[in-house]
């Protein structure tokens, strides 16, 4: 089935990526995270978020690296690339990968798009999550951005390849051209947390094209 094949391909590719990246991955993003002034731990946390979420560009519009039903800002140094292979998960198909490696992290923001229909964002996102084996602890919530109403989820994914459980996040919206799901994974929960500001930047700047 396309869903299982897609998931297997992604997880195998992720494992192969780790083998080549772990020894050479720098921690430059962490060095930049202390730029903000303020008081002790609160100031350091704020600095980490502000630094990691610096805008690097925008994708989604015609002529961008990935042409999508929505557009949003990408974090500085993250590299976007359109995906041609027909990899599906639930009701959506992988359309774009935004790689965090150039920014010093191991993971991707992946954008999935589907065909127009009657399903709302919550239904689409639940189907997307349900199509991934090893998921638990789902926590859903609503958000609005750029005139769009969406749903987001945080959950735990038990990776058989990595033999550990890690946090993942996704959000979904529906448009006249079909639903869109934006998903953030990562090497592990620590990497996921480091990349969350880029995910939040995408959600905060989201709008239709």
For 3-22, what is each residue's pLDDT tens digit? 444 454 455 445 444 444 44
Percent of the chain with pLDDT strictly greater than 90: 69
CA-to-CA distance for 78 and 47, rounded, in angstroms?
19
Q: Is the pLDDT of residue 42 over 90?
A: no
Closest CA to 52 of 70, 21, 84, 75: 75
Q: What's the mean pLDDT in 195-205?
A: 96
Average pLDDT score over residue span 59-76: 97
Give the residue extent of every domain in the chain: 2-208
Global pTM reads: 0.78
* Residue carrying structure tokens 């994974």: 185
- Residue 50 burial class via C-beta count within 10 angstroms: exposed 0-12, middle 13-18, buried 19 and up: middle
CATH number of 2-208: 3.40.1000.10
pLDDT band for position 86 (cuts 50, 70, 90):
confident
- Tens digits of residue pLDDT in 111-158: 999 999 999 999 999 999 999 989 999 999 999 999 999 999 999 999
Query: Residues 182-192: pLDDT tens digits?
Result: 999 999 999 99
Average per-residue pLDDT for the chain: 81
pLDDT > 70 fraction of the chain, expressed in percent and rounded: 75
**Crossing angle, helix 40-52 and helix 189-204, to 10 degrees?**
70
């Amino acid at each position: 089935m396309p869903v299982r094949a897609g998931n297997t391909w992604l997880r195998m590719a992720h494992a192969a990526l780790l083998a080549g990246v772990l020894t050479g991955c720098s921690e430059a993003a962490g060095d930049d995270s202390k730029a903000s002034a303020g008081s002790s731990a609160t100031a350091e946390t704020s600095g980490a978020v502000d630094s990691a979420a610096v805008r690097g560009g925008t994708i989604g519009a015609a002529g961008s690296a990935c042409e999508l039903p929505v557009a949003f800002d990408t974090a500085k140094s993250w590299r976007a690339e359109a995906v041609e292979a027909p990899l599906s998960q639930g009701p959506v198909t992988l359309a774009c990968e935004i790689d965090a490696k150039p920014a010093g992290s191991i993971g991707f923001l992946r954008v999935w798009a589907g065909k127009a229909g009657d399903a709302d964002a919550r239904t689409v996102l639940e189907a997307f999550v349900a199509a991934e084996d090893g998921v638990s602890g789902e926590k859903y919530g609503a958000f609005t951005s750029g005139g769009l109403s969406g749903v987001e989820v945080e959950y735990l994914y038990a990776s058989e390849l990595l033999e550990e459980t890690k946090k993942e996040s996704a959000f979904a919206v529906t448009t006249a051209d079909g639903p869109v799901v934006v998903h953030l994974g990562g090497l592990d929960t620590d990497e996921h947390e480091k990349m969350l500001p880029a995910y939040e930047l995408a959600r905060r700047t989201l709008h239709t094209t």
